[in-house]
């Protein structure tokens, strides 16, 4: 309005203007004054009111350029804005707003908090129906042990999938923890020792062994529960029972030839890297067997007799109730089941068959398991 009054004083013909003309003239002169006071590229704003000023700059006054404060943090210096590199040609590129960004990636929280997925440093390689699940469940309560929950069968069935697939099945572990897995069929698979050695020659191996006759009956009992029309144990175990000819091709019999399988493993691993757990002592003295396993793995003896109690119904030790759980931890229904009754003559014939293999096994490992 002050500009209009000044205009009327300076120009004598101004008294002839109508009211509408005066209003339009007032707006025009106000705009000229505004442009003179605030040069192009700036927007008048209150300190700390960046968001509001940006909204005004994008509002009706579209002719005004956005303030550089819209493109920078409130405490940033406009002079710190990086300039885009020029083209090699002299042609000028249209200016684009430069936004200051922090492109430094933040460290993955999973690595900081939960560790990494690593290939196993120890593997329970056998044997089936020897007590491998019990050893895994007992040792994994140790705070420095993490184990895959299911049998991976990588080295005998899924080797073509590659080590990265195998690694993906492992749990996340910290640097101080040991990664483990168990697949009992590894011990009797010819290619497995070579494949594990190719992964790491430092891998520690655990083999849970058991009286081969008792193990064969347990194996048959499990199979029978899944296949009720299975032939009798004697039909499968003997080619000719009257002559005492045992069928070594039957898997339940073949697994118990521990000495033959161990010879294959000793071609790739020294005996010092293989620890043998007694399946019988695992039942009568689980804490003692687990103490030796912890020593073999280089762990502090944390899993002790205070963690176990004997379940008379299952005839097997169970883990005592953890503080965070409402019930004790026992193995599943498939563990500790009652064996089928086998003719005593057949059992004695099998003991005679296994005896020389057992003696050789005792000599190889330097320990008498007293299966006779």
* The pLDDT value given to residue 338: 82
130 marked as part of a ligand binding site: yes
pLDDT tens-place string over residues 223-280: 999 999 999 999 999 999 999 999 999 999 999 999 999 999 999 999 999 999 999 9
Task: Find all residues with CB under 8 Å of 163, minimum gap 6, and list them.
Answer: 119, 199
* The pLDDT value given to residue 312: 84
Mean pLDDT of the chain: 80
Q: Is residue 73 within 8 Å of 48, Cβ to Cβ?
A: no
Flag the least confident range among 58-67, 167-176, 295-304. 58-67
Highest mean pLDDT among 5-19, 85-99, 231-245: 231-245
335 marked as part of a ligand binding site: yes
Query: Between these two residues, 123 and 47, which has the higher pLDDT value?
Result: 123
* The pLDDT value given to residue 324: 59
Task: Categorize the per-residue pLDDT at 220 as very low, low, confident or very high, splitting at 50, 70 and 90.
Answer: very high
337 marked as part of a ligand binding site: yes
For residue 56, pLDDT beyond 70: no
333 marked as part of a ligand binding site: no
Flag the least confident range among 63-67, 143-147, 314-318. 63-67
Cα 317 to Cα 171, 324, 340: the distances in Å are: 26, 20, 21
Flag the least confident range among 61-65, 109-113, 279-283, 299-303. 61-65
Tokens of 368: 């008498």
Of all helices (H) and strands (E), which one includes residue 311?
Answer: strand 308-311
Q: Is residue 247 within 8 Å of 237, Cβ to Cβ?
A: yes
Q: Is residue 126 within 8 Å of 184, Cβ to Cβ?
A: yes
Query: Between these two residues, 103 and 141, which has the higher pLDDT value?
Result: 141
* The pLDDT value given to residue 314: 80
Task: Find all residues with CB under 8 Å of 287, minimum gap 6, and list them.
Answer: 303, 304, 305, 307, 308
218 marked as part of a ligand binding site: yes
157 marked as part of a ligand binding site: no
The full set of domains in the chain, from first to last, is 35-71 (no CATH), 116-365 (3.40.50.300)
Flag the least confident range among 103-112, 137-146, 185-194. 103-112
For residue 331, pLDDT beyond 50: yes
* DSSP 8-class letter at 23: H
Task: Categorize the per-residue pLDDT at 53 as very low, low, confident or very high, splitting at 50, 70 and 90.
Answer: very low
Whole-structure pTM value: 0.69
Task: Find all residues with CB under 8 Å of 244, minimum gap 6, and list them.
Answer: 238, 349, 352, 353
Tokens of 195: 């494949």
Mean per-residue pLDDT for 154-178?
Answer: 97
Q: Say what percent of the chain tops pLDDT 90.
A: 62
Q: State yes or no: cis peptide before 127, omega within 30 of 0.
A: yes
- Helix, strand, coil percentages in the chain from 3-state DSSP, rounded to 5: 45, 10, 45
Enumerate the active-site residues. Answer: 129
150 marked as part of a ligand binding site: no
Q: Provide the angle, in degrees to the nearest 10, between the axes of the packed helices 344-365 and 258-265.
A: 30
For residue 113, pLDDT beyond 70: no
Task: Find all residues with CB under 8 Å of 36, minimum gap 6, and list them.
Answer: none
* DSSP 8-class letter at 329: B
């Amino acid at each position: 309005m002050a500009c209009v009054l000044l205009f009327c004083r300076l120009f004598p013909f101004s008294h002839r203007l109508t009211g509408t003309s005066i209003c339009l003239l007032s707006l025009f002169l106000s705009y000229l004054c505004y442009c003179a006071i605030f040069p192009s590229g700036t927007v008048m704003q209150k300190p700390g009111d960046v968001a509001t000023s940006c909204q005004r700059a994008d509002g009706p006054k579209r002719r005004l350029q956005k303030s550089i404060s819209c493109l920078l943090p409130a405490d940033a210096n406009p002079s710190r804005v990086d300039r885009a590199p020029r083209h090699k040609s002299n042609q000028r590129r249209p200016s684009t707003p430069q936004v200051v960004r922090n492109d430094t990636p933040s460290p993955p929280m999973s690595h900081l908090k939960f560790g990494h997925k690593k290939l196993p440093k120890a593997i329970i390689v056998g044997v089936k129906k020897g007590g491998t699940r019990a050893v895994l469940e007992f040792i994994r309560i140790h705070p420095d042990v993490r184990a895959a929950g299911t049998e991976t069968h990588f080295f005998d069935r899924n080797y073509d999938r590659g080590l990265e697939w195998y690694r993906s099945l492992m749990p996340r572990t910290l640097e101080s923890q040991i990664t483990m897995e168990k697949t009992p069929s590894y011990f009797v698979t010819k290619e497995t020792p070579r494949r594990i050695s190719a992964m790491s020659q430092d891998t520690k191996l655990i083999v849970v062994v058991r009286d081969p006759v008792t193990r064969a009956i347990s194996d048959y009992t499990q199979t029978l529960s899944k296949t009720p029309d299975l032939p009798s144990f004697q039909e499968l175990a003997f080619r000719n029972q009257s002559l005492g000819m045992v069928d070594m091709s039957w898997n339940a019999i073949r697994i118990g030839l521990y000495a033959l399988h161990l010879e294959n493993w000793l071609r790739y691993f020294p005996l010092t890297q293989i620890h043998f757990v007694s399946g019988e002592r695992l039942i009568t003295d689980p804490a003692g067997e687990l103490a030796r396993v912890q020593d073999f793995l280089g762990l502090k003896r944390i899993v002790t007799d205070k963690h176990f109690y004997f379940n008379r119904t299952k005839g097997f030790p169970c883990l005592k109730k953890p503080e965070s759980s409402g019930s004790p931890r026992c193995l599943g229904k498939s563990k500790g089941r009652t064996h089928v009754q086998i003719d005593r003559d057949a059992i004695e014939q099998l003991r005679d068959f296994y005896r020389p293999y057992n003696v050789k096994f005792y000599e190889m490992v330097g320990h008498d398991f007293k299966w006779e």
